[in-house]
Structures are given as structure tokens and as C-alpha cells.
Structure 1
Amino acid sequence: MSKTDPYAALRYSDFRYFVSAQLFFTLAILMQEIVLSYYLYELTHDPFSLGLVGLAEAVPFISLALFGGYVADKFDRKKIYLWSFFVVCLVTILLIFGLSENSLLSLDKEHQPWVIYVSVFIFGVARGFYSPSWSSLKPFLVKEEHYSNSASWSAQFWQIGRIAGPVLGGFLYAFVGFISSLWVVLAFLFLTVLLAAQISKKEIKNQTKANLMDSLREGYGFVRKNKIMWYSIVLDMFSVLFGGVIAMLPVFAKDILHVGAEGLGFLRAAPAVGAVLVMLGTAYFPPTNKAWRNMLLAVAGFGVATLVFAVSTNFYLSCFALFFTGAFDSISVVVRSTILQILPPDHMRGRVSAVNGVFVSTSNELGAFESGLAAKLMGTVPSVIFGGAMTLVIVTYIYTQSKELFGVKLIKEGK
């Protein structure tokens, strides 16, 4: 038996630039998310304002992502993601000068939420283009026999950013303030652009020649007719749409657990810690064996952990519950990511990635809006209890509709 090289993917220079850029971008975006959400809640004291942030990002992203996938399959992906990352830098600059007290552009506190909403909207536009072009780049960075190794390393760098970003953002907000935190975010974004620029241009074989609408229908149709791909995306979307609690964490940190911005950073990082530990375990016990059973059990576990978080008034128990939401969610992420990497042909990866991105954004950003609206109508804690219960209902329903998928075996990468 030949010995497996655990660092195989990292021996490709383009892949090293990719995961490094991904790390700094994840750090920057999650730091910015923490400081913006806490600052906004301090301004408004209204959970619905946090939901509006999700809506402001979701509307442009969902509107543009399928078109962005078409563009990624037709034009130079490197130019697309570099220009998109540059726009994200401009968004942070707008936030700095729009919210700084000493800036010529600064507004009074009554109008500052609109600066945040407009900035997040522009970020959603940029994301509609960088997400499919960046995500569909991964299979071109390493040889096919190293796909599994590259997926593992990419996930680990991403999860490191998901852990460190919120914690760093919370501590920076608490100790150096809102605007200084955004300057650190901007520095990380510039590093992202510099690293991403080092990745060599990738030629795409069999680029799509179809017109826009036919091309988009082809991408959606490919996803729709692959049952395990379709059901995995739909299950993830509805479970996170109702069961996600991330948008409401500033409310829990400030008004329920009374732990401030530092505590918010730890709460936001807890799911990522759980995800990292499970990701390490999946290297030895891959969930792609009996994939559909594992995904249904994981989403059910996500719902139960959400219910525990909803009723907790203890900071440590809340972190523990969030830890398990991330642990269970990462299992479904591994299964879905494996499906998305194995099934699409190269010339359709951008569009398939865009279709997946639309559903992910629907669950995350529209889920944030749903959380804010439900919290305003029902109260914060009852709304999270409702979300956890709905997740369990959704798992039960999809189980009854997808029993034939229990026999599906995913092809192992690198086999």
C-alpha cells in the first residue's frame, strides 16, 4: 500500500495562495460581521435591524448569483474575483468614512444604520460574482488524485478563519473600538487581493456557448435532476433558514447572557470550533459512507442543539450548544461539498456553484431576516425555539420523501 502524502495539496503553489487568501478573507468578513452587528444593535436595540442586514445582502446576491455563475463559466475567473474582492475593500472603506465621527462623510447616529445597509447591499452584489468564480476554481488548482486532500486543507483554513475571525473581531471591538477594528479588516482584505492575484490564470475547457437564459436553465436543470444533490441542498436551506441563530447572537450576548462584545466573539466562534473537530474526525470516518442517513441525523442534531441554545441562560451551556450546531452542520457540509465536487462537469462548475450559492444565501441571509422578523413578532427566545422545532419537522418530512437515497454511495475521491 502506497503511503498517502498528507501535504500533497500544499505542494501546489497556486493552492497555497488560494487557501491563504481564503483564510484572510474569512477572517476579514467575520470580523466585520461581528463589529457591524454589535454596533448596529447598540444603535437600534432592535433585533429586526439585524434581520435587515441579512435581507440587504441576500437580495443582490440571490438576484445576481446565477448570472455570476454564467459569467464565471464564460469569462476569465481570475479577473472576476479580483475585481469583486476590490469592491469588497471599497465597501469597508465606505463603512470607515461613513461611520467615523471625524470624517467628512460621517452621519448622525439616526442615519448610520443606512450606511451599514447600503454597504452590505454592495457587498452582496460583489459576492454574486466572486462566490461562483472563486468556489469553482478549486478543482483546477491540484491534480484529480489530490481533490480529497485539497478539500480537507481548504476546509481547515476556512474553519480557522471562522474561529479566529469572530473572536478577534469581538476583542478588537471591546478594546480598540469600532473604527479601528474596521481598519484591521481592511488590511486583511488587501492581503486577500495580493494573495489571490498570485494564482495563475486557469483555462476552462468546453466553455459554455449557450445564451444566458439557456445556460442558467442548464445549470439549474443539472442540479434539479440529481436527486441526492437536490435534496441535500434543499434540506440544508430549510434547516438553516429556520434553525439558524447567528443573526440573533448580538441580542443574546447583550440582553440575555450579558457578556458583551467579547462574549459575542466566543459565541460566534463556537460553531466553528465544533465544525473543526468534526472535520478532523471525518478524515478517519468519512460521513460519505451512508451519506444520506448521516446527513439527516446531522440536521436533526442541529435542530436539537438549537433548542438547547434557545432555552439556555448560561454562557457556557450556550457556547456548548452552539458548538454542537457547528459540529452537526459540518457533517452536512462535507456530504454536500463532496457531491458538488464529484458530480458537475468542469464547464458547468460555475453555474452549479452559483445554484448552490443561491440556496446557501437563501438559508443564511434570508434566514437572518426571518430570525429578525420572528424575534420582533414573537420575542427572541420563542422565535429560536420555533426555528429549532421547524428544523425537526423539515427533517422528518424530507426523510419520508427520500428513502430511496439511503442506498446511494458516493464515489470516494482519489480512488
Structure 2
Amino acid sequence: MSTVDAFAALRVPFVRAFALARLMSFGGQVILSIAVGWELYERTGSAWSLGLVGAFELAPVLLLMVVAGNAADRYPRRNIVMLAHGILVLASAGLATIAWTNGPVDAIYFMLVLVGVARAFSSPSFGTILPQLLKPEQFINANAWVSSAGQFAAVAGPALGGMIIAASGGAGWAFVAVGFSQLSVILALLRLPAIPPPQHDPESRRSPGQIYAGFGFIRRNPLFLSAITLDLFAVLLGGAVALLPIYAKDILAIGPAGLGWLRTAPSIGSLATALAVTHLPPWRHPGRAMLIAVAGFGLATIGFGLSHNMILSLVCLFLTGACDSISVVVRVTLEQVITPDRLRGRVSAINYVFIGFSNEFGMVRAGATAAIFGPVASVVGGGIGSLLVVAIVALAWPQLPRVGPLHTLKPVEEPA
């Protein structure tokens, strides 16, 4: 009986450096979100000012998606990520200066546009570095460890950001911490090689077909299209994070401290599951595991929506994070395995936009339906919607539940 080496990926120096970079990057993002929200609400007292944060950060991502994806396929991805996080260091310094000098609120939003530009270029390159350095059979274990690093940041980041703000009496030093975290990303990535992209005919790479090749690749590959559709609509319909303040105050009556636990429970579930995946052999039927996980996500969401008990609510939210972690590991690994390296940047950019916007639109969906039908109906209806999505995807793309171990798949090559 063979044993699974849970630390196989971590024995590779590149993976350790990359996981550290992900940890510092995501941790900085979490602290930045908390610090910006605190600073804006302290200045304006307006919920609308908080809602604009997402718009100013996401607009550059949407506008630059095609450009950023093509850049990731034309230049060394490590260098692009380092440049993007250099911009984040500068934006963090700008935000700290604004906080300390009580600068104009409009300047905060300008800095958030810079943050959005940096993330637009960072994401498609950051997410496609490891496949250049590892063998396909190492992807799942490596992705599980990288996901664990991100989830640890999601658990610890809010507490660290809150403590910095509380101890310093403002958001300025929290922005400084964000700047140092992004500088740490750059230093960690210096340990990775700057791998040049595959060389192709320069004229073909500038043609409209090649610029938008990522869209065509996803459309012509039903296996990946089914996985991204499943993840996108499950998050869009099943997300309940936006309504947690209502549950904490009006339904569970557990106050702001309880709200903190509700926000943390999904991240703890994701972290625990990602660590567990590192000890498991590759799934024999990963598509089936993804469908079951998303169905579990929907059932746990329904359970949370109906719960009036804090312990049961925490358990349900823990399970939503656990199930989501499985879905993410399968989707990310599938993308890495079947996408040719010359297209990974463009495909990753599209994937990032769709998944990122599903979170934002999911919050809008939850808020709108809660305003009309009430929070319980909104959450429970979203969970039911996730179950319907699982059924539709399983019927529309039967190849997803039948797919074999991911490391046995090969890149789907297309004409250059």
C-alpha cells in the first residue's frame, strides 16, 4: 500500500517561495480591504462610500483583462507580478500618506484605481507561474498548499489588520503593513526564475484572433467551460457573506463579535480542507468530486439560511468553505493541466474576471433578494439555486463527472 507524501510540493524550493508570496499577497489584500473600509467610513459615515470601493478596484480589472492576459503570455510572468506588486507598494504608501495627512477622499479612490490596475496585471501572471515550474502530477498537492497559505491569510489577516488599527488609532500604519507585505512578495519571487514565454510568430501574436484566443479556448473546451460555469454560478447564487451582518444582529443576535466568527468560519473550513487535500492521493474522478462539493456547498448554505443557532450556523459556514476549497483546487488544477503554456495568461485573465465578478454580483444578488423576500429566503433560495446548477451542469456536460485523474490529462493544443 503506497503512502501519500503530503509535503511533496513543499520539498520544492520554488513552491515554498511561491506559497510565501501568495500568503503575503493575500494577507496584504485582506488588511488593505479592512483599512480602506475603516478609513472611508470614519471620514464619510456613508455606506455608499464603501460600496464604491469594489467599483473602483474592479473597473480596471475588467478594462485591462485582455491586455493583462496577453502580457502574461508575451513576457516573463514573474517580472510582471513583481512590477504589479511594486505598484501596490506605491499605492499603499499613498494611502498611508492620505490617512496621516487627512487628505481628500477622492485621493483614496484614485489609489484604489492603482490597486485595481496592479491586480489586473498580477492575477493572470501570478496564477500561471507554477505550471511552468512543476510536473502535472505535482499540481494538486502544490495548489492545495498554496490555497492553504491563502486561507491562513484570510483567517489571520482581519484580526491583524484590526489590531494594527486599534493600536495605532487609525488606518495609516495598517497601510504601511500592506506595503511591507507586498514588498515581501517581490523578495519571495526573486527566488523564482524568470522564464521567458514560448516564442511564436510576432505577427500572429498581434492578430485579433490571438489577442482574444483565451475566449475561444474556453468556448471550445467543454471540460473547462463546465468547471468554470459550475464554480461561477454556485458562487453567484449561493454566496451569503453579504448578509452575515443581518444574521448576526437580527436572526442569531450574537453582535459584532459573533459576526467576526461568522466571517471567519468559511476560511477555517477552506484552510482545513486544503490541508487535508495535501494528504490525499489524486482524485480518481475529480469532476465528480467537484460536483459533490458544490452540491455540499448548496446544502450547507440552505442549512445556514434556516439556522437560528450560532453553533449550527458556524458549522454550516465551515462546510461552505470546505466544499468551496475542493471546487477551487479542482478548477485551478484543471486549468493548469489542459491549458497550453502559451495561452495560460489569457485564459487565467478571463477566469479571474468571471470568478471575481461572480463574488461581487453574488453580493448584489443576495442584497437585492433579501430586500424583496427577506434574508432567509435569499440565502435558502441561493442554496437551492446552487443545487440546480449542479444538476444542470452534470446533464449538460456529462464529460465532467467522467473525467479521470487530472495529472493524466494533456494540454489541449490549438493552432498558434
Tell me if both proteins adopt one fold, taking TM over 0.5 as the criterion: yes
Shift of 1:212: 5.4
Higher relative contact order (CA 8 A, sep 6+): 1
Moved more, 84-93 or 228-237: 84-93
Aligned partner of 1:162 in structure 2 is: 154
- Report the Cα offset of residue 176 of structure 1: 4.5
Summarize the Cα distance change of 1:145–1:238 in structure 2 as closer, same or farther, 3 Å threshold.
closer
Find the counterpart in structure 1 of residue 101 from structure 2: 103
Once the two structures are superposed, the pairs formed by residues 58-207 of structure 1 within 5 Å of their partners are 58-98=58-98, 100=99, 102-105=100-103, 107=104, 112=105, 117-143=109-135, 146-174=138-166, 176-179=168-171, 180-207=173-200
1:25 aligned partner: 25
Aligned residue among 392, 398, 401 for 1:406: 401
Question: Is the 2:89–2:180 Cα contact (8 Å) retained in structure 1?
Answer: no
Q: How many angstroms does 1:37 deviate by?
A: 4.2
| Distance in structure 2 (CA, Å) of the matches to 1:84 and 1:377 | 41
CA displacement at 1:70 relative to structure 2: 0.7
Measured on the aligned residues, the alpha-carbon RMSD in Å equals: 3.3
Residue by residue over 1:271-330, the C-alpha shift from the partner in whole angstroms, topping out at 9 and shown as x without a partner, is 121112222333454574233332222212212222333344544433322211111111
Query: Is the CA contact 1:27–1:188 (under 8 Å) kept in the aligned structure 2?
Result: yes
- In the other structure, the counterpart of 1:388 is 383
The 1:382/1:286 distance shift into structure 2, 3 A limit, reads farther
| Distance in structure 2 (CA, Å) of the matches to 1:250 and 1:24 | 28
- Looking at structure 1, the residues matched to 316 and 237 of structure 2 have their Cα atoms a distance apart, in angstroms, of 17
Equivalent position of 2:218 in the other structure: 223
* Match in the other structure for 1:326: 321
Q: Is contact 1:51-1:247 (8 Å) kept?
A: no
- Of 18-27 and 76-85, the range deviating more from structure 2: 76-85
Instruction: Using the TM superposition, give the Cα deviation of residue 20 of structure 1 relative to its aligned residue in structure 2, in angstroms.
Output: 1.2
Secondary structure in 2 aligned to 1:201?
coil
Q: 1:41 to 1:243 in 2, by over 3 A?
A: farther
Q: In the aligned structure 1, how far is the partner of 2:177 from the partner of 2:130?
A: 27
CA-CA distance at 1:248 after TM superposition: 4.3
**Matches of 1:308 and 1:144 in 2, distance apart?**
37
Tell me the TM-score normalised to structure 1 length: 0.84
Task: Report how far residue 339 of structure 1 moved.
Answer: 0.9
Separation in structure 1 between the aligned mates of residue 43 and residue 370 of structure 2, nearest angstrom: 17
d(CA) in 1 for partners of 2:8, 2:354? 32
Q: Distance in 1 between matches of 2:405 and 2:292?
A: 17
Which runs of 5 or more structure 2 residues have no equivalent in the other structure? 411-416
Q: 1:224-263 counterparts in 2 under 5 A?
A: 224-249=219-244, 252=247, 257-260=253-256, 263=258
Q: In the alignment, which residue of structure 2 is the partner of 1:368?
A: 363
Residues 291/49 of structure 1: CA separation in 2 closer, same or farther (3 Å cut) = farther
* TM-fit CA distance, 1:171: 4.2
* Count of residue pairs brought into register by the alignment: 406
- AA paired with 1:259? G
User: So what's the TM-score if we normalise by structure 2?
Assistant: 0.84
Displacement of 1:46: 7.0
Distance 2:371 2:91 in 1: 28
What is the DSSP-based 3-state SS (H/G/I as helix, E as strand, rest coil) of the residue aligned with 1:154?
A: helix
Mark the CA change 1:286 to 1:373 in structure 2 (over 3 Å): closer, same or farther. farther
User: Aligned-pair distance for 1:50?
Assistant: 5.0
Cα distance, 1:47–1:235 mapped onto 2, change above 3 Å: farther
Q: Which amino acid in the other structure matches residue 387 of structure 2?
A: L
Q: How does 1:306-325 map to 2 (within 5 A)?
A: 306-325=301-320
In structure 2, what is the Cα distance between the partners aligned to 1:263 and 1:25? 27
Identity of aligned residues (%): 37
CA distance in 2, matches of 1:55, 1:374: 21
For the Cα contact (< 8 Å) 2:286–2:403, is it kept in 1?
A: yes
> Does 2:270 correspond to 1:275?
yes
User: Residue 330 and residue 120 in structure 1: after superposition, are their counterparts in 2 closer, same or farther (change >3 A)?
Assistant: same
Distance (Å, rounded) in 2 between the aligned partners of 1:304 and 1:266: 20
Gaps of 5+ in 1: none
Asked if structure 1 preserves the Cα contact closer than 8 Å seen for 2:294 and 2:327, the reply is: yes
1:365 Cα offset (Å): 2.8
* More deviation, 40-49/19-28: 40-49
Q: In structure 1, what is the Cα distance between the partners aligned to 2:377 and 2:97?
A: 38
Report if the CA contact (8 A) 2:66-2:211 is conserved: yes
The residue type equivalent to 1:186 in the other structure is G
Q: Which residue of 2 aligns with 1:13?
A: 13
Query: CA distance change for structure 1 residues 224 and 213 in 2, over 3 Å: closer, same or farther?
Result: same
